Structures are given as structure tokens and as C-alpha cells.
Amino acid sequence: MPYVELDTSLPSARLPSGLSQRLCAATAAMLGKLQDRVNVIVRPHLTMILGGSGDPYAQLIVSSIGVVGTAEENRDHSAKFFEFLTKELSLSQDRINIRFYPMEPWQIGKKGTVMTFP
């Protein structure tokens, strides 16, 4: 159950229509998860500073169980997410950061309990 949060200083009007749906589909494909399990949040028009600069910026936070736990996995995911984000947001790679957070099933509450796997 991946959670993907895109924070950006770009105003809503500069985000392409359907971005959240395309990010959901791309995340599912990149992480090998079912699309109906992916959770996406897009937060535009935030005050964000990167390296002392207020130029347009985006930060992607990717949290998931079992697919973002190693440098090797994240290197591959990073390349794919950067390709997607630079195209969709028209930002250069130096104005995008990605943070990966591995999760355990017990860290996700759902239906009044936490997730467990047999």
C-alpha cells in the first residue's frame, strides 16, 4: 500500500490536469503494486525553499511496504520518478527532491486496526 505525497511551490494552475491520476498509475507501475492500493496526495502552492532559493520546487515522499528499503531499489525508483516529475512539472532535476520511507504493515491503520499479513 504505497503512499505518495507531492508537495510543490507551483500554483494549482501550473499543474497539469489529471496529474494525481497519472502519478497514481505511474507509482503502481514503478513499484509493482496494484493501482487501487496506491494513495496519492498532491499539495500545490506551498511556501518552499531549496538551497536558499524560492524558485519553483517539488518534493516527493514515497512510503511503502517492501519496495523502498534498499539503496538499489531506491536508485531505480528515483530515476523513474525523476523522469515522470521533470516531464509533468516542467522542473529541472535540481529543483526536485525525493524521500523514500520504508514501512512495516503495523504502521498502517485501516478499518479500525493495523494491517497484518499472514
Catalytic status, residue 2 = yes
Q: What is the DSSP letter of 32?
A: T
Q: What's the CA gap between 27 and 38, in Å, rounded?
A: 7
Q: Which of 2, 11, 102, 118 is catalytic?
A: 2
The kind and range of the H/E element at 58 are strand 58-65
Q: Is the dihedral of CA 107, 109, 110, 112 positive or negative?
A: positive
Catalytic residues: 2
